[in-house]
Amino acid sequence: MSVIETEEQKQLRAAVAALAERYNYVDYVLPKARRHEPLTELWDEASKLGFLGVNLPEEYGGGGAGIYELALVQEELAAKGCGLLLVVVSPAICGTIIAKYGTDAQKQQWLPGIADGSKIMAFGITEADAGSNSHRISTVAKRDGEDWILHGSKIFISGVDQADAVLVVARTEDAKTGKLRPALFIVPTDTPGFVKTPMEMDIIEPDHQFTLFFDDVRLPADALVGEPEAALMQLFAGLNPERILGAAMAVGLGRYALDAAVRYAGERTVWKDPIGAHQGIAHPLAQCKIELELAKLMMQKAAVLYDSGDDFGAAEAANMAKYAGAEASIKTLDQAIQTHGGGGLTQEYGLASLLGAARIARVAPVSREMILNFVSQHSLGLPKSY
Ligand X SMILES: Cc1cc2nc3c(=O)[nH]c(=O)nc-3n(C[C@H](O)[C@H](O)[C@H](O)COP(=O)(O)OP(=O)(O)OC[C@H]3O[C@@H](n4cnc5c(N)ncnc54)[C@H](O)[C@@H]3O)c2cc1C
Q: Which residues bind ligand X (CB under 6 A)?
A: 89, 123-126, 131-132, 156-158, 209, 360, 363-367, 369-370, 373, 386
Least distance to ligand X from the beta carbon of 15, Å? Answer: 28
Least distance to ligand X from the beta carbon of 184, Å? Answer: 12
Least distance to ligand X from the beta carbon of 153, Å? Answer: 12
Based on CB atoms, which residue is closest to ligand X, 271 or 386?
386
Based on CB atoms, which residue is closest to ligand X, 244 or 304?
244
Based on CB atoms, which residue is closest to ligand X, 47 or 158?
158
Least distance to ligand X from the beta carbon of 278, Å? Answer: 36
Based on CB atoms, which residue is closest to ligand X, 290 or 372?
372
Based on CB atoms, which residue is closest to ligand X, 39 or 281?
39
Based on CB atoms, which residue is closest to ligand X, 23 or 123?
123
Least distance to ligand X from the beta carbon of 199, Å? Answer: 9
Based on CB atoms, which residue is closest to ligand X, 19 or 357?
357
Least distance to ligand X from the beta carbon of 324, Å? Answer: 16
Nearest residue to ligand X by CB is 131
Residue type, 207: D
Least distance to ligand X from the beta carbon of 206, Å? Answer: 12
Enumerate residues 6+ apart whose C-beta is below 8 A from 343.
Answer: 264, 349
Based on CB atoms, which residue is closest to ligand X, 234 or 300?
234
Measured distance CA(98)–CA(56) in Å, rounded? 10
Identify whether the C-beta of residue 32 lies closer than 8 Å to the C-beta of residue 202.
Answer: no
Least distance to ligand X from the beta carbon of 138, Å? Answer: 14
Least distance to ligand X from the beta carbon of 235, Å? Answer: 11
Based on CB atoms, which residue is closest to ligand X, 68 or 123?
123
Q: Supply φ then ψ for residue 190, to 5 degrees.
A: -100, 15
Measured distance CA(314)–CA(203) in Å, rounded? 30
